[in-house]
Amino acid sequence: MNRYLFLATRLFRVALGFLGALAIASAIVLVFDLNKGRVPDALAGAAIVGLITFQAAAVLWPLILVECVAEWRRWRSVLVHGALALAVAGGVLAWQVVQAGDDPPDPLLGEEPAFTAKRLLIYVIAGLAAGIVYWLVAGRSAGLDRIERTDP
């Protein structure tokens, strides 16, 4: 395998890890926050998770650049990727609080306040799960050089 194919494979793993991390985080948020603990039907749930994942990817695309820097700097620690995912989850929760503004939640619609301890816990769990998924797919082998074959 030549060097360019190896680098393309590494970048593919980064992109796949990024999408996998977004998918697991959006599935956790869908089930525990948006759907209030009820598991949706399989097909509808998969469609909604895919929609949320690609909408999040459209907004969070600069995170791939950070992950490419982590690849270049050879940061393989699960703590680095977990902390990065927690920071992103905290940013998303802060963005939701800012977007909610001062409007009080409507109890007739079953709305909750924008910031609750339950929602904070859900986003922390989603961030940690996303960081671990990314680390499993691409982070634990970040920056590794290809293995050269030698004849015995």
DSSP letters, 11-71, are: HHHHHHHHHHHHHHHHHHHIIIIISTTPPPPHHHHHHHHHHHHHHHHHHSTHHHHHHHHHH
pLDDT band at 57 (very low <50, low <70, confident <90, very high): confident
pTM for the whole thing? 0.74
Q: Would you say residue 65 has pLDDT above 60?
A: yes
Q: Are 128 and 121 in contact (CB under 8 A)?
A: no
Residue-wise pLDDT for 89-144, tens only, equals: 888 888 877 877 777 776 766 677 767 788 888 888 888 888 889 888 887 777 66
What does each C-alpha distance from 82 to 59, 74, 87, 116 come to in angstroms?
Answer: 20, 15, 9, 22
Q: What is the Cα Rg of the chain in Å?
A: 18
Tell me the C-alpha distance between 94 and 88, whole Å: 10
Nearest CA-CA partner of 132 in 83, 63, 78, 90: 78
Handedness of CA 51, 55, 58, 63 (dihedral sign): negative
pLDDT digits (tens, 9 = 90+) for 67-81: 778 777 877 788 887
State how far the Cα of 43 lies from the Cα of 146, in Å rounded to an integer.
39
> What does pLDDT average to over the chain?
79
pLDDT value at residue 54: 82
SS3 of residue 145 by DSSP: coil
pLDDT at 148 over 60: no
Q: Is residue 22 over pLDDT 80?
A: yes
